[in-house]
Copies of this chain bind each other. A is one copy, B any other.
Amino acid sequence: MTNFGYELIKTDGQARRGRLTTAHGTIETPVFMPVGTAGTVKAMLPESVKATGTEIILGNTYHLMLRPTAERVAKLGGLHKFMNWPGPILTDSGGFQVMSLSDLRKITEEGVRFRSHIDGSYHDLTPERSMEIQNLLDATITMNFDECPSFESTQEEVVESMRLSMRWAERCKTAFEQRPGYALFGINQGGIHQELREESAKALIDLSFDGYAIGGLAVGEGQELMFSTLDFTTPMLPQDKPRYLMGVGKPADIVGAVVRGVDMFDCVMPTRSGRTGQAWTRRGSVNIRNARHALDERPLDEHCSCPACTNYSRAYLHHLNKAGEILASMLMSWHNLHYYQDLMAGLRGAIEAGALDAFVAEFEAQQALGDIEPI
């Protein structure tokens, strides 16, 4: 039986090169987790997701509890078998999506009551129910059920919300059914306020979790405030546990957060962008729908080894996007995930080599060049 664990292999400044051991396989960190919202990384076959270098994916409790339901996934053998992804899966707690997607919601000390965005039906989500759902899904890494205040909240609202989340954290810890190789992560809250992050970190560390997420960022505060919040928050978290920055982000956000000591990331960016014609490359983002690509025989990135770049021209990708073809989403999502995972591999290699500063300087120089000239 495998126990869940984090091994810190090497540091370079605050940045950490590590390895997670789980019931479903090992994960090299820093790691990017593609989002498989409703039991599929959109427009990708699981073997293609794996081919990009992906070692762990994320599933959404909110979506899966509504459809097909956690009980149904459990009956069908759990999420790994259901979606043909035998590797590690992290599930979020449902808290964030309840805030951002559901039609109506009412928050009490007990939990949240909300209406489904699919059919308007009423549902309750509590710390205990979130643990139960994630257990039914067979999540390798379960996330605490927390409340995520919007960036517009007052400091007073952020305090109240954070303290509610910390009380829920204790209930999550109690309700979580510990199994070998499985993990429960706490989620640090407190907005951009150092003293609140500190209070939250202490509360979580007192409860002792297998890993610590930083929540409540990437909600509109901008990169500068996110980085400054990370600057004081990551040092509050234990050195011997993984740190996960939820919902981040653009490539530059990830690079900056790795520099600041974050180990894990998830974001819909590469797949969502892929479905709207936006590519991420070493030279920044490329809108393939732009007319300048219509006769461009070059690949998106000549140095990229993904199928979209190996077999197709920008002109073809432009055509597919204009024509609304499904293959556009398939190829662009594949490229974007491939680029993200290449970037993570580059970051891991740079930390190992003690050369992160040079890597980041080169990353920023490339991004600044833009993609008009041959890449």
Which A residues are within 8 Å of any B CB, using their own CB? 38-40, 42-46, 67-68, 72, 75-77, 82-84, 275, 294-295, 297, 307, 311-313, 315-316, 318-320, 322-323, 325-327, 329-330
Contact = CB atoms under 8 A, between A and B. Distances in A.
B326 A45 contact: no
A42 B322 contact: no
Given A40-B325, A325-B40, A315 B84 contact: no
A83 B45 contact: no
A125 B327 CA distance: 29
A8 B316 CA distance: 38
B40 A72 contact: no
A42 B320 CA distance: 10
Nearest to A333: B326
Contacts of A313: 76, 82
B327 A68 contact: no
A325 B76 contact: no
A327 B83 CA distance: 11
20 contacts: A38-B319, A38-B323, A39-B316, A39-B319, A39-B323, A40-B320, A40-B325, A40-B327, A42-B325, A42-B326, A42-B327, A44-B327, A46-B311, A67-B319, A76-B295, A76-B315, A82-B313, A83-B316, A326-B329, A326-B330
Chain A interface helix/strand/loop/mixed = loop
A197 to B, nearest CB: 36
B320 A39 contact: yes
Contacts of A72: 294-295, 315
Which residue, of A297, A318, A323, has the highest number of chain B Cβ atoms within 10 A? A323
Nearest to A63: B323
Given A39-B325, A72-B315, 19 more contacts: A39-B320, A40-B325, A40-B327, A43-B330, A45-B330, A67-B322, A68-B318, A68-B319, A72-B295, A76-B297, A76-B315, A82-B316, A82-B319, A83-B316, A84-B311, A84-B316, A326-B326, A326-B329, A330-B330
Contacts of A38: 319, 323, 325
Nearest to A320: B40
A327 B315 CA distance: 25
Contacts of A42: 325-327
Contact of A315 (B46, B68, B320, B325): B68
A244 to B, nearest CB: 26
Nearest to A307: B45
A72 B291 CA distance: 13
A84 B83 CA distance: 29
A67 B330 CA distance: 20
Contacts of A322: 67-68
Contacts of A295: 72, 75-76
Contacts of A83: 316
5 smallest CB-CB distances across A and B, nearest first, come from A43-B326, A40-B327, A84-B311, A68-B319, A38-B323
Nearest to A42: B326
Given A45-B327, A294-B72, A84 B312 contact: yes
A76 B330 contact: no
A76 to B, nearest CB: 5
Contacts of A294: 68, 72
A272 B45 CA distance: 19
Nearest to A324: B38
A239 B82 CA distance: 51
A313 B82 CA distance: 7
A43 B331 CA distance: 10
A319 B82 CA distance: 10
